[in-house]
Structure 1
Amino acid sequence: MHLLLPLCVLWLLPLAWTLEEDSPLDCVPRRSFPYHRDNAHLFHEEGVFNYSTMLLREDLDLLLLGAREAVYALDLKDISKKLASVKWEVTQQQKNECKNKGKDLETECKNYIRILHQTEDNRMYVCGTNAFDPECDYMSYANGKLTLEKKGEDGKGKCPFDPFHRYASIMVENNLYTATSINFLGSEPVLMRSSPISIRTEFKSSWLNEPNFVSMTQMPEGYMSEEGDDDKVYLFFSETAVECDCYNKMVVSRVARVCKGDLGGQRTLQKKWTSFLKARMDCPVLESQLPYIIQDTYRFCDPQQDWRDCLFYAIFTPQSDKSDLSAVCAYRVSDISRVFAEGKYKTPVPVETSFVKWVMYSGDVPVPRPGACIDNAARKANITKTLDLPDRTLQFIKDRPLMDQAIQPIGNKPLLVRRGARFTRIIVNQVQAADGEKYRVMFIGTEEGTMLKAVNYDGEMFIIEEVHLFQTPEPIKILTFSNLTGQIYAGSDYGAAQIPLATCGRSLSCMDCVLARDPYCGWDKDVRKCVFLSNSPRGLIQSVKKGDASLCPEADPVKPMNRSIWPRGNLKLRCPSPSNLSKTSWERDGSPVMASTRLQLLQDGLLILNATDSDTGRYRCLSVELSKAGRYTATVADYQVSVAPAGSGDGSGILPKARMDGPSVAGLQAIVGLLVVSLLGLLAWNFYKGHLPLPWNCTKKKNEEQTQETREQGGLDAYQDAARSAPAEDKPLVSGANNGRSNNHTGREESDGPKVSLPSLQYIDDESEV
């Protein structure tokens, strides 16, 4: 029995290590940057909200930004510069009709721009919710002006009625594909192509069951296809699973696709998709019991590779409030295409009287294959368009649009899992690093208005940084990237932001630059700066896979700063941590500093309390950071601390010496004087009203009255003596109050002045407050 326990521990240790390696659920950004106006170029116009639709017009150097009741043309290189704008507001009559339908006048009964696409004649096609009456129009940009043509096309089925419902759209060869609700109540979801022949999905729960549309994209699968295949349009969404054998509703993630040349059926599925197929998408997270829900996707294609090598990056969040994890999974387009082209179908089977169970279909599959595009094999059978498809094939796909096989991510696990704010949007950019390899960097927006920059290095999840883009924590609703400018553009309810792919200058040392493991940045030994890789003609120091900071030259020593403190005083030595992955430690005269009641190790420094002569010495703050290449130590701060002799007047502790003649002392003396005058006035009023006897009103008990008079006079004298001595007794408090004001009139730190020990005063963490 005694030998069994150690054996079990030895057996479980490799399993625990495997779980920890495969699922580091606490992946944190190496650097976190709070909001600052220098983080990004920002655009916001007073009174306008919901900047959630973007169109890049790199041919015009414009970013077209759709917001609530307005469209803006912004400078692509600096979006804080507005070049033109056009208002698209609803009329008062439309507002009243919207209000009469039970909608909120201030939020819902507005025109939210939702569709913004470029047409082949270089105009823009724009649609808005238009107070729950969707409308579309054409827009042009010429001579520095945006102009709406005011054609007023019906937007039903193109644009959502409800401005807060998810939707998806794409323009392919002047044909608009949209996924939204076609009715006012939002109860009839459709995937629709508006022109040249309107085609949509069936109103059946087996096709779309309470969907939440996410995104849409095109794949050129017909380009130089040996099979004569057609291009596809892919739709990503989530919906209530019809195939789930459970009492409660379960939401699953889906990918569906249709063929670009689909014209519908001749009799069955007239003006309906004959190629609509859908499959479940899985993104397995270790601790999840319910499937994670897809929120956004990004199609990444290397221009030098075939479409089969393209990837879909997708972000997922939990459908249960019990988890705070978000994940990124990547899928090969070839894997998705194979499931639709070769996979089994699911079919509904009636069970008992009212319950339908979905199982894998094992019967004969009609020819041509249901849901397939028209290819060379179909053309040989004289089927040149979907109108020629036999009813048997069409009826099969009408009843069985769901595939049996679920699509799994690359490696059957996420590329990134993070605990905290939920992911909302993602884009991916590829960069060639100094080692010659290409890396795909993920830029992820969150619900808190931050953007993560992350890479997966051979299975290792690594978040380079997190940047707060907006002052208010608004969710990021759109992300897009321009190859022309190398800039990322983000939109939220509050405004739009423009940020570069990398800000290498934030790293001030070679070690910090290398440990950042940013494939865009490297250390230039000649200029001694961390610079953008493509901007330097010289070879740069970089180690993205391992973070090998030993490649760096010897760093310049940190110059020590002199700090002095009065006996029994308090002093804080600051040491900000250079990264979230590093740990700081302190040394005094080469020996480690251990925490005690008088030496407190803080997150951003060291606090010395009730100083004595034994606290003098050389204090060094060291940062230790681990990477795959090793353990690296750097000196962050260096202080020479001395205890000033009493009365020397040159101490630099946190609490300076009390001043006897400052303006705050005079102010306190005036306040005390007013209190004394008020008290004397109160005594006089009591004498006048008779509440207190006057000293000259003699009675038979003269001796007692004289005694009482003596007591009262003595009390008054004592009070006046106390009032006269009050300023001297309160001078430490006056000095403490003066510290806060004197900080506005001095250019040096407050610790340069003398101090006194004041037990009644509490320590102030921020030196600027003292």
Structure 2
Amino acid sequence: MLPLLVLCLWCLPLLTAKQISLSTPRRTVPLSGNGGHVFREEGVWNYSTMLLREDLGLLILGAREAIFALDLSNITHKRAMVKWQVPQEMQDKCSHKGKDSQIECQNYIRILHKIADGRMYVCGTNAFSPTCDYMSYTDGRLTLENKREDGKGKCPFDPFQRYASELVDGVLFSATSINFLGSEPVVMRGSPEPIRTDFKTSWLNEPNFIGMQHIAEGEQSPEGDDDKIYIFFSETAVEYDSYSKLEVSRVARVCKNDMGGMRTLQRKWTSFVKARLDCPVPDTSLPFLIQDVFRFCPGDWSTCVFYAVFTPQSHTSQYAAVCAYRIADIRQVFSEGKFKTPVPVETSFVKWVMYSGDVPFPRPGACINNEAREKGVSQSLDLPDRTLQFIRDRPLMDQAVQPISDHPLLVKRGAAFTRIVVAGAVALDGSSHQVMFIGTESGSVLKVVNYNGHTVIIEEVQLFQPTEPVKTLRLSSSMLYAGSEVAAAQMPLSSCGQYRSCLDCVLARDPYCGWKLTAKECTAVSSVQQDSHSDVIQSLTDGNATRCPLIESSKAVNMSFLPGNTIKLFCQPSSNLARVEWHVDKRLVISSDTYEIQRDGLLILNASAQASGLYTCRSVETYNNVDYITRNAAYELRQGSGQTRQAEETSLLLPQAQKQQNTVVALQVIVVFLSLMLIALIMWNVYNGHFKILGRHCNQGQEAEGGQEFAPTLEPLQAADGKVSKAGSNSNNNHNRRSEGKDMTQQIT
């Protein structure tokens, strides 16, 4: 009963959640059609760590045993490269511990951070012996300084284990595993005052770390608050008693200047608290799990929003989701919410329930503020044991953090979401919008905007092969960079020139683009002068394209056919959201035994004389109950004469029929070629006398088997020189021997 109760608790918020419409990308385009570039180096894999150095105009790209410095404007231009390989003896040591020497026992670059003096801090897995170093870029060269440091607790041992890190004021905060087996997870701060989480399942229970974000909440804080480090991860839930493991998404928080406790929680976080992170997807029973998070702050830290992508933890669901969380809502849960507490029960080792007792002062898990200082607590070392013992045993909050509007921004069926970044865009009317770029398991990126609660997928751009997931995403002021196992890719945030008509430009609802009437082109609104706004059409929330001028109809293509043929008239819709309508002589075509309407055209089956007429294809895209129509194709179809039969059949053959015809021709060519080869082989054997020997061997075999009545025994033939000619003695006598044998056979007969 208890497991069922758990599932019901998860289903309850889903029943009241707002129904989410599933979205489809308006356009699907290849990277080449979007002005993108791809970088790969022969023999190098796992392009999964990126650092943008806009001050140097570089993208620092970490891969397996290599680090690249690429031109930010065009990543195909490699400025520099440095190798960081594992010595053979370390590979052997790693292999002896049971790891794959060719895959796991390599050095995967996992951490890249810029430090104050312009150098970079870099860490790699180094054959399950994590190591860190300093790197500089001078005079067009990348250089590792060989100031190696132990990377344990900073960088993962396992190259395929998720991790998180953040460099704040020169101090590294990290979330990873601290041992070879990956069984001791920690959230820690490095030198000069190292501090970490406790090894208790109530703190971290088989976590999968996703991201880490620094929020400067101490800046100009009237409460004298401290900066916070927020950690996002998923883990096995301790608060639910079920027959199988139930994973949940979490957000945790620590104070930047936490020093640990004096006696209790020495060198341990005194401010570590965590809460469940909900992303309620309708019609699902198990909670979705967080895969990536991005912080977007349009103003100061109080305006920050965390955008996160979620995927199901079971294979029964084929959906992925995006949820957004305000920093204010997360703060409220941690500052004012109830705690959970473990209680021993008879049917289980422990049960977690809401704590209803008194909460000590200072509040457990809170940062030191002015109120605490007034009570004589100026740092965490001054915290009383009662507060420390409380948070040591009860780091989990009872209340979950809910997304903005209590429902996802986007739910989409198909490839799972892997990564997300968010860019700000200012529309023509001055309004601000957040543009989400979402990486997928299928190697594509979705460009998504939410307008007043309605989510629009502007386009889907295929960056990598469909089997290569997007592993990292980074944003510059004008470009998006992505990494995968096989390559790195770059694409512009906007590519307005790809929209060729006014309708296409306006209905795309891209906040970066608008249609300029005088220039008759889709242009970037950021380049439009203030006094020229009336000359540009952009309608983001409504998709109103009524101001667009009419498009001239395309000329009809003349085609002829013979009765009984099957005809394919091609026509592509203007977008994935559009539908096609076919008319013949202004009459609407509907599917029947004669007509089959397909996504890319019209199929006319067993055409008769009545199939003649003017066929027009219209692409219809609907927004706010308004149909926007584009005539995409027109065909003047007429019954042809027998004299043009071959040309007509060639032009009207279906692709399948053409393929079959090509196959028949190819088979005929092969048969002719094989026949010629066989004739040549026979002639060669005849010339060399192989067939005569074969015939003689057959006769000898028959004689041995007693076949004399079919081949009578002949007397030896005497040659002109008086010598007896024996069988097989000389091939030059074969002709005479055959003729004489023939005469003797006639005499016997």
Structure 2 CA distance for partners of 1:583 and 1:21, relative to 1, 3 Å: farther
Partner of 2:335: 341
Structure 2 matches for 1:227-238, cutoff 5 A?
Answer: 227-238=223-234
Counterpart CA distance in 2 for 1:679 and 1:513 is 70
Per-residue deviation at 1:491? Answer: 0.7
Q: 1:226 aligns with which of 222, 227, 252?
A: 222
Q: What's the counterpart of residue 716 of structure 2?
A: none
Question: Which has the higher mean CA deviation after the structures are superposed, 628-637 or 188-197?
Answer: 628-637
Q: Does residue 652 of structure 2 align to residue 654 of structure 1?
A: yes
SS in 2 for 1:243: coil
After TM superposition, list the pairs within 5 Å mapping 1:287-686 onto structure 2: 287-303=283-299, 306-352=300-346, 355-483=349-477, 486-537=478-529, 538-539=532-533, 540-628=536-624, 630-648=626-644, 651=648, 653-655=651-653
Contact 2:22 2:410 in 1 (8 A): no
Equivalent residue for 1:40? 36
Query: How far apart are the structure 2 equivalents of 1:136 and 1:679?
Result: 74
**In 2, Cα distance between equivalents of 1:220 and 1:81:** 36
- Distance change in 2, residues 1:369/1:452 (3 Å): same
Residues 152 and 566 (structure 1), Cα distance of their counterparts in 2 relative to 1, 3 Å cut: same
Partners in 2 of 1:668 and 1:182 — Cα distance? 69
- Cα offset for 1:535? 2.7
- Secondary structure of the 2:643 match is coil
CA distance in 1, matches of 2:538, 2:575: 18
Letter in structure 2 aligned against 1:180: T
Computed over aligned residues only, the root mean square deviation of the Cα atoms, in angstroms, reads 2.8
Does residue 101 of structure 2 align to residue 105 of structure 1?
A: yes
Distance 2:679 2:52 in 1: 74
Partner of 2:132: 136
Matches of 1:564 and 1:137, distance apart in 2: 73
* Cα pair 2:233 2:290 within 8 Å, conserved: yes
Contact 1:508/1:530 (CA < 8 Å) preserved in 2?
Answer: yes
Aligned equivalent of 2:53, options 54, 57, 60: 57
The CA deviation at 1:209 is 0.6
Q: 1:155 aligns with which of 125, 141, 151?
A: 151
| Distance in 2, Cα, partners of 1:197 & 1:517 | 50
Q: Secondary structure at the match of 2:310?
A: strand
CA distance in 2 between partners of 1:622 and 1:335 (Å): 48
Checking the alignment, whether the CA contact within 8 Å between 2:17 and 2:282 is kept in structure 1 is no
Structure 2: distance between partners of 1:252 and 1:78: 40
The residue matched to 2:26 in structure 1 has which SS? strand
Per-residue deviation at 1:350?
1.2
Selected match of 1:82 from 74, 78, 83: 78
1:567 Cα offset (Å): 4.6
Tell me if the contact between 1:252 and 1:291 (Cα under 8 Å) persists in the aligned partners: yes
429-438 or 473-482: which moved more? Answer: 429-438
The 8 Å contact of residues 507 and 513 in structure 1, kept in 2 or not, is answered as yes
**Rg larger in structure:** 2
What's the secondary structure of 1:335's corresponding residue? helix
User: Residues 168 and 198 (structure 1 numbering): CA distance in 2 closer, same or farther, change over 3 Å?
Assistant: same
CA contact (8 A) 1:567 1:645 kept: no
Alpha-carbon distance in 1 for matches of 2:257, 2:681: 94
1-structure distance, mates of 2:57, 2:632: 44
Asked if the contact 1:644/1:650 (under 8 Å) is kept, the reply is no
Residue 200 of structure 2 is aligned to residue 204 of structure 1:
yes
Q: Residues 394 and 667 from structure 1, CA distance in 2 versus in 1: closer, same or farther, beyond 3 angstroms? A: closer
TM-score (norm. length: structure 2): 0.85
CA–CA separation in structure 2 for the residues paired with 1:583 and 1:194: 58
Q: Report the alpha carbon displacement of residue 156 of structure 1 after superposing the two structures with TM.
A: 0.3
Output the CA distance in 1 between the equivalents of 2:495 and 2:399: 43
The answer (yes or no) to whether the contact 2:424–2:434 under 8 Å persists in 1 is yes
Kept in 2: contact 1:570–1:653 (CA 8 A): no
Q: What number of residue pairs does the alignment pair up? A: 669
Q: 1:125 aligns with which of 115, 121, 131?
A: 121
Structure 1 residues 292, 353: CA separation in 2 closer, same or farther (over 3 Å shift)?
closer
CA–CA distance in structure 1, aligned partners of residues 400 and 200 of structure 2? 21
Q: CA deviation at 1:600?
A: 2.9
Q: Deviations over 1:613-645 (max 9, x none)?
A: 332221111111111251222211111222321
Change (3 A) 1:674 1:356: closer
Deviation sequence 1:3-62 (CA, Å, 0-9, x none): xxxxxxxxxxxxxxx999943453111111245476521111011111111111111111
Q: Which residue of 1 aligns with 2:719?
A: none
1:28 is matched with which residue? 24
Cα distance change on mapping 1:101 and 1:646 into 2, 3 Å = same
Structure 1 partner of 2:189: 193
Secondary structure in 1 aligned to 2:537? coil
Return closer, same or farther for 1:514/1:647 CA change in 2, 3 Å cut-off: same
Percent identity, aligned pairs only, is 56
- 2: CA distance between counterparts of 1:513 and 1:175? 47
Equivalent residue in structure 1 for 2:274, among 267, 271, 278: 278
Distance 1:666 1:257 in 2: 74
Structure 1 residues 511, 436: CA separation in 2 closer, same or farther (over 3 Å shift)?
A: same
Tell me how far apart the structure 1 counterparts of residues 574 and 289 of structure 2 sit (CA, whole Å): 35
CA distance in 1, matches of 2:379, 2:21: 50
Structure 2 segments unaligned to the other structure (5+ residues): 1-13, 701-708, 710-749
1:647 aligns to what SS in structure 2? helix
The match for 2:717 is none
Q: Is the 8 A contact 1:86 1:147 kept in 2?
A: yes
AA aligned to 1:449 is G
- Among 56, 60, 67, the alignment partner of 2:63 is 67
Residue identity in the other structure for 1:412: D
**Whole-Å separation in 1 of the counterparts to 2:615 and 2:324:** 49
How many Å separate the matches in 2 of 1:611 and 1:502?
46
- Unaligned regions of 5+ residues in structure 1, if any? 1-17, 692-698, 700-770
CA contact (8 A) 2:109 2:123 kept: yes
Looking at structure 2, the residues matched to 180 and 477 of structure 1 have their Cα atoms a distance apart, in angstroms, of: 18
**Partner secondary structure for residue 47 of structure 2:** coil
Shift in alpha-carbon separation, 1:19–1:273, aligned structure 2, 3 A: closer
| CA displacement 1:304-335 (0-9 Å, x = unmatched) | xx422211111111111100111111111011
Matched residue type, 2:38? L
Query: Cα distance, 1:506 vs. partner?
Result: 2.2
Within 5 A, what are the aligned runs for 1:671-710?
none
1:726-748 CA-to-partner distances (Å, cap 9, x unmatched) read xxxxxxxxxxxxxxxxxxxxxxx
Q: Secondary structure at the match of 1:653?
A: helix
Pair 575,529 (structure 1): closer, same or farther in 2 beyond 3 Å: same
* Helix, strand or coil at the partner of 1:549: coil
Compute the displacement of 1:536 (Å).
3.2
Does 257-266 or 240-249 show the bigger shift? 240-249
Q: CA offsets per residue over residues 124-156 of structure 1, 9 Å max, x none?
A: 000000000000000000000000001110000
The structural deviation recorded for 1:87 is 0.4
Matched-pair contact (CA < 8 Å) for 1:546–1:629: no
